[in-house]
Amino acid sequence: MTTNTAPTYVAIMAGGVGSRFWPASRTNSPKQFHDMLGVGKSLIRLTYERFLRLCPSAHIFVVTNQIYKTLVREHLPELSENQILCEPSRNNTGPCIAYSAFKLHALDPNANMIVAPSDHIITDEKTFMETVRHGLAFTAKEDALVTLGIQPSRPDTGYGYIRFETTPVADRVYPVAQFTEKPDLERARSFLASGDYLWNAGIFIWRASSILNAFEQHATEIFQLLGAEPEVYNTPAEQAFIDREYPKTPSISVDFAIMEKAENVFVIPSDFGWSDLGTWASLHAESEKDDDRNVVQGKKVILEDVSNSLIRVHGDKIVVIKGLEDFIVVDEGDILVIFPKSKEQEIKQVTEEVRNRFGGEFV
């Protein structure tokens, strides 16, 4: 495999709300701006610092909702104004990725880019970087859309799956046969048993020109809207153009818009300690635990006969808990949530009841 000769850029997607992490994650301050791991750094900060190993800060861009621009500047003060792409509406990952590709292509027609979420955990960063560099070397010389697929460790129903062909086109690079949405448990078990399926991590590698060609062919409306005035990108006129045209784009994921339709889609099977950190239970699973399998984030917490639970408390509040198993306890000051871990999928529904009864400022 030749080394990557095309300049590397990174687009970090940071516009989501993360409603399943309520009450820590809220509309005005979503999870990517929180220290969810208790390490003293927010998830977006950890993501940014991870990619500094790959390219200079000047090549790292963040795509976010315009209401989070101040938060991005606060957490990543190294970024210039031009490195923060502000979406005026939430239209899913399709338009988000097209916007970043148009901008980077205007900046550098040879741009080789990684697209990654701002809120994922990667525990084996050395292997992650090696995998990403391997993908960049492939896309530098091939007109290819590459996604990283995670070797599944369990029949998880919360992830999308990728079925790949068994014959590689290059070292560790395989053609994608099919994308499958989140399956039921029985199908997930069959996927795992077959050995032909990977979790869809939502981390992509391609040249900006390659993904723009794919948008032109498979998502023409997005391409025409955001490509109507290519000369405005990286100029003072960009934001006004985006504010006018971006809300007109269809709300669609890049998987539906491009990846399920294009023929030049490939996957690199990967294993680098990945989690999308989508729920409190996933945070519990990925965090360091005490002898009773508890994850405790708090200064003054006393536990007695408590096991397999996540306790998160801000500030100096003293918390005493006795006789609890398999629970989530999250105290955000104005909101306290005590919830069975096995029923955490109901938390998203609870937020709607809170909104209706107490007002939108609490969600």
What tens digit of pLDDT does each residue of 353-362 get?
999 999 888 9
What is the structure's pLDDT at 1? 37
Last residue of a domain, which of 254, 275, 296? 275
Does 4 have pLDDT greater than 80?
no
Write down the pTM of the prediction. 0.92
User: CA nearest 85: which of 232, 189, 196, 220?
Assistant: 232
Domain residue limits at 78:
8-275
Q: How many domains does the chain contain in total?
A: 2
Write the DSSP assignment of 263-294 as a string of letters. SSEEEEEE-S-EE---SHHHHHHHS---TTS-
Q: Are residues 314 and 254 in the same domain?
A: no
Q: Are residues 134 and 213 in the same domain?
A: yes
Q: Are residues 92 and 202 in the same domain?
A: yes
CATH number of the domain enclosing 22: 3.90.550.10
What is the structure's pLDDT at 17? 83
Q: Are residues 320 and 249 in the same domain?
A: no
What does pLDDT average to over the chain?
93
Q: What is the pLDDT of residues 19-62, one digit of tens each?
A: 888 999 998 899 999 999 889 999 999 999 999 999 999 999 99
What is the structure's pLDDT at 5? 65
What is the structure's pLDDT at 301? 96
Q: Are residues 254 and 286 in the same domain?
A: no
User: CA nearest 117: which of 211, 38, 17, 44?
Assistant: 44
What is the structure's pLDDT at 356? 93
Does 197 have pLDDT greater than 60?
yes
Does residue 242 fall inside a structural domain? yes
Cβ atoms 84, 61 nearer than 8 A: yes
Element (H, E) at 230: none
Q: Are residues 262 and 134 in the same domain?
A: yes
What is the structure's pLDDT at 180? 87
Does residue 158 fall inside a structural domain? yes
Does residue 3 fall inside a structural domain? no
Distance CA 199, CA 255 (A): 13
Q: Which amino acid would we find at residue 253?
A: S
Does 3 have pLDDT greater than 50?
no
Q: Are residues 298 and 264 in the same domain?
A: no
Q: Percentage of the chain surpassing pLDDT 90? A: 79
Last residue of a domain, which of 253, 275, 297? 275
Does residue 1 fall inside a structural domain? no
What is the structure's pLDDT at 2? 39
Q: Are residues 299 and 264 in the same domain?
A: no
